[in-house]
Amino acid sequence: MATLGRVFLTRGLGPRRFFSYGTKILYQNLEAFQSKFFPPLQKPMLPPNSFQGKVAFITGGGTGLGKGMTALLSSLGAQCVIASRKIDVLKDTAEQISSQTGNKVHAVRCDVRDPEMVQNTVSELIKVAGHPDVVINNAAGNFISPTERLSPNAWKTITDIVLNGTAYVTLEIGKQLIKAQKGAAFLAITTIYAESGSGFVVPSASAKAGVEAMNKSLAAEWGRYGLRFNVIQPGPIKTKGAFSRLDPTGEFEKEMIDRIPCGRLGTTEELANLAAFLCSDYASWINGAVIRFDGGEEAFISGEFNSLRKVTKEQWDTIEGLIRKTKGS
Ligand SMILES: NC(=O)c1ccc[n+]([C@@H]2O[C@H](COP(=O)([O-])OP(=O)(O)OC[C@H]3O[C@@H](n4cnc5c(N)ncnc54)[C@H](OP(=O)(O)O)[C@@H]3O)[C@@H](O)[C@H]2O)c1
């Protein structure tokens, strides 16, 4: 039975361009047969100019999913401000995106672990672009490790970026928006194991759970100021940043796809479309939501009997016969 799961994996659709925003084009050909029923649409879902006149602030906007969300928001008319530690990467991304969309993208160096730097970044954001309409807490750090190998410093680094960094950004921008009496949509990018927890990524799981609690709490408390808060929990999407630290040998990718009922990884463009929708006025009444975006991975992992998909028709005939023969309860 153990080999049967792999049957799905051997009939991939062949290599194809994986996503278009990364610095390096990634290819993958591990998709399961059923992925042909779930084609990722790469084009913008929202009408052109949906974010015309709006300002979006995206942490970690220079790479991966943050870059994808920035590119889409910019193409829909937003003026974007992206912030993270590596200013060269941010500047490259900003230039690349604004040359494609014709809309300004500003790059600001910021380590979200440092509250003073966050404060200065928010001042800079307001100075160059104005108070934001969209705030995306996307920056994160993570790596796989047996928990007993973690030093206090490793724990602090991850939780400082993910939980404290999100808090500093949210508090500082929130205070400024409340003062200016301006509404905005906040979005946090967490992960499917923020709810379930997961071994080997314990600082990340703990911090992301905190980020979800923070966003749900503020959805309740700050609605009165015109601020709404939502969360996306992505399943695996192949970005260089995530996969180099979470699947450094490339061994786990096949396993990941095998447990995703849609038979493939997610794409940056799909995530960007969902994020743009949640931050747009089309989603004005969506507040305090945590949206799982994972091709069914979490449902598959958590269902006790889901491994039975490996049972063949012949084996089911035998099993059915045995069950029918059972007498009594
Ligand atoms: N890709 C996936 O499969 C996946 C799945 C679930 C959740 N996610 C979440 O999606 C988000 C984006 O991840 P990704 O896959 O796009 O990986 P990524 O490219 O590595 O993105 C992480 C970003 O965070 C920034 N960052 C890290 N430390 C920072 C700090 N101290 N201050 C400010 N910025 C910092 C990085 O920029 P600098 O290095 O320049 O600081 C980088 O741009 C993360 O929240 C991640 O947890 C991803």
CB 77 within 8 A of CB 106: no
- How confident is the prediction along the chain (329 residues), in pLDDT tens digits per residue? 233 222 222 233 333 333 333 334 344 468 999 999 999 999 999 999 999 999 999 999 999 999 999 999 999 999 999 999 999 999 999 999 999 999 999 999 999 999 999 999 999 999 999 999 999 999 999 999 999 999 999 999 999 999 999 999 999 999 999 999 999 999 999 999 999 999 999 999 999 999 999 999 999 999 999 999 999 999 999 999 888 888 888 888 999 999 999 999 999 999 999 999 999 999 999 999 999 999 999 999 999 999 999 999 999 999 999 999 998 76
Residue 279: predicted pLDDT: 99
Tokens of residue 189, six digits: 């990018």
Ligand 1 atom nearest residue 60's Cα: 43
What is the model's pLDDT at position 130? 98
Q: Which atom of ligand 1 is nearest to the CA of 190?
A: 7
Distance between CA atoms of residues 324 and 137, nearest Å: 55
- 193 catalytic per annotation: yes
Please list the residues that pair with 134 across neighbouring strands. 56, 185
Predicted local confidence at residue 329, as pLDDT: 63
241 lines ligand 1 (CB under 6 A): yes
- Ligand 1 mean position to 240 CA, how many Å? 10
Catalytic residue from among 21, 27, 168, 193? 193
Q: Supply the pLDDT for residue 182.
A: 98
- What whole-number distance in Å separates Cα of residue 1 and Cα of residue 3? 5
325 Cα–ligand 1 center, Å: 55
Candidate of 59, 65, 135, 204 to mutate for ligand 1, largest count of ligand atoms within 8 Å of Cβ? 65
* Helix (H) or strand (E) segment spanning residue 106: strand 105-109
161 Cα to the center of ligand 1, angstroms: 10
CB neighbours of residue 307 within 10 Å: 13
Q: How far is the CA of 224 from the centre of ligand 1 (A)?
A: 31
Going by C-beta distance under 8 Å and a sequence separation of 6 or more, which residues neighbour residue 217?
none
Do 9 and 34 form a contact (C-beta atoms < 8 A)? no
pLDDT value at residue 244:
87
